[in-house]
Structure 1
Amino acid sequence: MKSLMPQKRHFLQAFLLASVLAFPSSSRSEGSVDASSLTPLLQQQPEMFRLLYRVFDLTPTSIGTGTRVGNRLAPGIGGARISPYTFLINLKSDTRKENDFLVTVNARTIFLDENGRVTPRIEEAVSFHEILRSITITNNPDTARVTGKALLTQYITSVTPNDYMSSSGTPLNTLAGVLAQDRANVHRFGNPDGDQMDSYFINVERRKEIGQMPIEIDEANGADEESIIRAVTSGSPIRLGVKVYLNSDMSKSFSVSLPRLSPKTYAESNEWE
C-alpha cells in the first residue's frame, strides 16, 4: 500500500490528534491497524460500511494507521490503537495500483477504569470503547486523480402520472424533478407503481441530490435524449433504467436509459442492457 509522504503524514496525524485528543505528544505515536479490527466501529454507520466494502477496495486485511497509546502514559491499555484511523484505498473499478482516496475514521474514545467506570484520565484506563463520529473520504493529494467511476446503485422504474406531481401538489416537468419524486414515491409514499427499490435514495437528503447531479442519456437500446425529455415534459408514462455513479472527485452522476426488453411484457421487464 502506498503511504503518504512522511512530512504530510506527520502533519495530518498531528492535526487530527490535536482536534480529538489532549494527550502529551510523547504519549502517542502512529501504529498499524487492520480493517477487520474496526468492523464493529464502522458498522455503527451501516450504509457507509457497506459503501466502503462494495465500492472501494477496502478489505478486512487492509492495513491502515491508528493512534498508538504509549505504555508509560497508560499501562493498562498501552499499545492499543485508538481514533483517528486512516486508510488509503481506491475504487474497485480502477485497475491502476494507486490509492487515490484517504479514509479517515473519527470516533469518541471512552476510557474505563478497573471498576468499569468512565474516567477522563487515560492513565487510569484498563479498557475503552469508541463511538463513531464520522467517516470522511477525501482525495489523496499524493496520487493523480482517478479517471474511473463506481456504480452506487441501479434500478428500473415506471414513470407514471404519480411521479409528475410533487408531494406538495406542484406539477413537475423536468427529468430531475420527476426522478426525485419517483424515488420519494418508492421510499416514502408506499410505492404505488410497484417500482424497483434502490439502496441509495432512502431519505429526503439523498433525494435532494438528484437535482444537483448531471444526467446523461445512455442511447443503448434505442434511447435518445429528445424522446425521453419529450415524454417527461409531456407527462407521458415511460419506463427508465437508472444508474447512479460515484465519480473520482466524489461527486455523483446519473445515467438514464431504456431497459432491454425481454420475453416478458414491457411492464414486467427488469433487465439491463
Structure 2
Amino acid sequence: MVAVPRIEHRHVEVDGVRVFYRETVPDRADAPVLLLLHGFPSASHQFRRLMDALGTQYRMIAPDYPGFGHTAVPEGFTYSFERLADITEGFVQRLGVERFIMYVFDFGAPVGFRLAVRHPSWIAGLIVQNGNAYAEGLSEAARSFIALRPDVPGDADVVRSLLTLDGTRGQYLTGVNEPALVAPDGWTLDQHFLDLPGRREAQLALAFDYHTNVERYPAWQEWLRTHTPPTLIVWGRHDPFFPEPGARAYLRDLPSASLHLLDTGHFALEDRLPEIAPLIAKFVTATRQPS
C-alpha cells in the first residue's frame, strides 16, 4: 500500500488578514506538529513535496504570509517583518497549536525567530534551512541589498530587478549543480503571485525593512543560547545570499545542533528533498525522545 497524505487547504481570519494555509492530516492524532515558514519570493507551495513525503507522519502546517501566495490583506496593510510575525503569531493562536517544531527558511527565519522570542514555550525544536541569523551568513550581495533605502535614487529599481521572471528563476537555479532536478513550477507560480496588483509594493516595503532583522541578530542568538532548542541545520552551501558560514555560525550558540551542508543553492528542497526528508524524519523522532 502506498502512503499518501491527506492535505487540506484552508483560510483563517487574523486581524483582518485572510491567511491561506495548507495542512497535512497525519495517521495519528498525537503526531508531531511542524510549522513550515516559507521564504522570498515564494509561499507555502514551496513545501508541497516535503508535505507529500512526510505528511502521513506529521501534522505539517504551512501558511502564506501577507503579501505572498493566496493570503489576502485589507487595503492599507503595513508591510514589515514585525507585522508578518504578528499575523503568523495570530495564525498559530487561531489554530490552537501550543508546541511545534519550526522550519525556518529565508524570510521564515526573521518571522520565526520573532515568534520564538515572544513564545519560547512554543518551540519544541528548530529546522533551519538557509535561514540566516548571523552577520557572517550575509554575502556581499546580501549586504548590498540590506543597505538599500527608499529615499536613495535608484535603490527601488534594484529591488524591482529581483522581482522579474529572470530574477525569480535565478534564485532557484543559482548554485544548483543539476538544474534538471528543479521543476519550473516553483518560480513560475512565484512570479504569478509577484505580478498580482500590490505585490511589488509589498516586496519593496519588506526589502527596505530587512535591516531590522540584522539589528535583531544578537537578540536571536541570545535566545538560542538561553533556550538551546534541538536543532537540525540543512543548508545549500552555494546560496549566493546566505553562504555556508551562516550555517556554521549556529554551532557557536548551539554546539549540539546537527549540521548538514548540501551541494546546492538557496531553494535546497527543490533538488535535495531525497536527502532532506530523511534527515527531518530522523530529527523529529529524536526530538520526541526523553532526554
Greater strand proportion: 1
TM-score (norm. length: structure 1): 0.25
What's the TM-score once normalised by structure 2's chain length?
A: 0.24
Structure with more of its chain in helix, by fraction: 2
